[in-house]
Amino acid sequence: MNTGLKITAFAAALAATFGTAYGVGQGLDPVVAAGPPEHDGGHGGHAGHGTPPAGGLQISERGYTLDLRTPRVTAGERGDLRFTIRDSEGRAVTAYQREHDKELHLVVASRDLTTYRHLHPTRSPDGTWSTPVDLPRAGGYRVFADFTPARKDTGNLTLGADLAVAGRYDPKDLPAPEATARTDGYEVRLTGGLRPGRPSELKLRVSRDGEPVTDLQPYLGAYGHLVALRSGDLAYLHVHPNGEPGDGTTEPGPDISFTATAPSSGSYRLFLDFRHDGVVRTAAFTVRAGGAAPGTTPGATETTGDTEDTGDTGEHSSGGHGDGHGH
């Protein structure tokens, strides 16, 4: 057989092999491997001139690295998530500035943005952080560590790493925008929206049984805590509350106000944590920044008290939002 015929025959055999493998793969339910994912080297930074940098897209930044010691867990099983923040010399960081009542805030979100956890891990003297975690659905997740090292010249950082949750994978679509979210008997209405490259106000009004809630309790130094993640790459936005408890002007509800700047056009998922009657609850929203169809109202998707997919750990109601871990 001459060289040309040999190459042709080999290519045909190779195509047949891959065709068979594809056919077998199509006939199986998708399963997330239990092996560790490859860490995302990140493409963080500015989304455009004059826009704020998006956080969480890099595992290392400004000499600090998120060393995720638990790269995989199993869906529906309670596990222990462990990690360390390391400096440029590889040493574990043990000194932090407190931000919003905590040294470090940990957020875990699924790539489809339908599962969310806001966790507050504990730090051992050697710098290892740990927290219980129970994620109900398999798939790819992102872990965000939001912190400020004690060194005053560093500033705040949000580092991100990939987490694999093993099990049968059932991907979900991003929920559509809607103006109101319901969670555990509470109704939260969102007004305002995100604008690319420009600060804008997001106001959330909390009510229960049709009555405004006017006795919200402080949570993380404010009457509410808001996390925004960009759909597609899960860029993490820093959202700042307007006012704080005890400043003489900020009321404990029903309105909670935040200011945020979207680094780009696109869809974002907002997660509001608020405390009332000693319990932290979470309302989830989908918002489109720029490029929305005329007449589209930025808003929320409904969540119910028995959902398992969103929540902060700790003082949550038994409606399924929390992991039962105290703050």
Pairing mode, strands 53-54 and 60-61: unpaired
Q: Is the peptide bond preceding residue 53 cis, with omega within 30 degrees of 0?
A: no
- pTM of structure: 0.78
Q: In angstroms, how far is CA 237 from the centroid of its own chain?
A: 10
For residue 51, the model assigns a pLDDT of 52
Decide whether 33-168 matches 180-312 in CATH topology.
Answer: yes
DSSP secondary structure letters along 178-220: -SEEEETTEEEEEE---BBTBEEEEEEEEEETTEE----B-BT
Residue 247, judged by CB atoms within 10 A of its CB (0-12, 13-18, 19+), counts as exposed
Task: Identify which of 29, 30, 54 has the alpha carbon closest to the alpha carbon of residue 40.
Answer: 54
Domain at 33-168, CATH from 3.40.50.720, 3.50.50.60, 1.10.760.10, 2.60.40.1930? 2.60.40.1930
The residues with which 282 forms a beta bridge, in sequence order, are: 273
In tens, the pLDDT along 205-244 reads 999 999 999 999 999 999 999 999 999 999 999 788 999 9
180-312 belongs to which CATH class?
mainly beta
For residue 312, the model assigns a pLDDT of 52
Q: Which stretches of the chain drop beneath a pLDDT of 50? A: 1-50, 292-308, 313-327
Would you list the domain boundaries of the chain? 33-168, 180-312
Q: In angstroms, how far is CA 107 from the centroid of its own chain?
A: 5
Q: State how far the Cα of 228 lies from the Cα of 237, in Å rounded to an integer.
A: 5
For residue 53, the model assigns a pLDDT of 63
Q: In angstroms, how far is CA 318 from the centroid of its own chain?
A: 22
Report how far apart, in Å, the C-alpha atoms of 147 and of each of 65, 160, 314 are.
12, 12, 20
Q: In angstroms, how far is CA 228 from the centroid of its own chain?
A: 7
The residues with which 225 forms a beta bridge, in sequence order, are: 273
